[in-house]
Amino acid sequence: MSLLANTVVGLVALLHAWFLVLEMFLWDKPAGMKAFGQTPQSAAATKVLAANQGLYNGFLAAGLVWGLWLGAEGFAVKVFFLACVLVAGVYGAVTASRKILFVQALPAAIGLALLYLGRSAA
């Protein structure tokens, strides 16, 4: 179960690293505008805000990688950063797009569940 939990944590980290790239570097490019349903005008007007949001997603990814790097000692770090992702995903689903619930919050919730299941099985 630990391997599966860590795999999900790694996938959530990769997902947030991709969000960093989309929001910081591709926001006003075709891939970024398509991913977030932006027009060239709205992308230009919100580019700085998106870059800031991308930076936060990078911090989430870095925290998850840190937790993985710590191995078994990183349980609390992984839980903390997955909880942050989950809260951000739920907030985003309520305030921006329901799609965020499935793209961001659900993988974090699965990761948290697997971490706790792996811990209780050990």
Tell me the CB-side half-sphere exposure of residue 98, using CA atoms within 13 A: 0
What pLDDT sits at residue 1?
Answer: 65
pLDDT (mean) for 15-44? 96
What pLDDT sits at residue 64?
Answer: 98
- What proportion of the chain, given as a percentage, has pLDDT over 90? 95
Q: Which amino acid is at 104?
A: Q
105 DSSP 8-state letter: I
Give the range of the structural domain holding residue 100, as residue numbers without chain letter. Answer: 2-121
- Number of separate domains in the chain: 1
pTM of the model: 0.93
**CB atoms < 10 A from the CB of 51, how many?**
14
First to last CA, the chain: 9
CB 38 within 8 A of CB 46: yes
pLDDT (mean) for 18-46? 96
Q: Is the dihedral of CA 27, 33, 38, 40 positive or negative?
A: positive
Q: Which two tokens stand for residue 74?
A: 């990183």
Tell me the CB-side half-sphere exposure of residue 54, using CA atoms within 13 A: 19
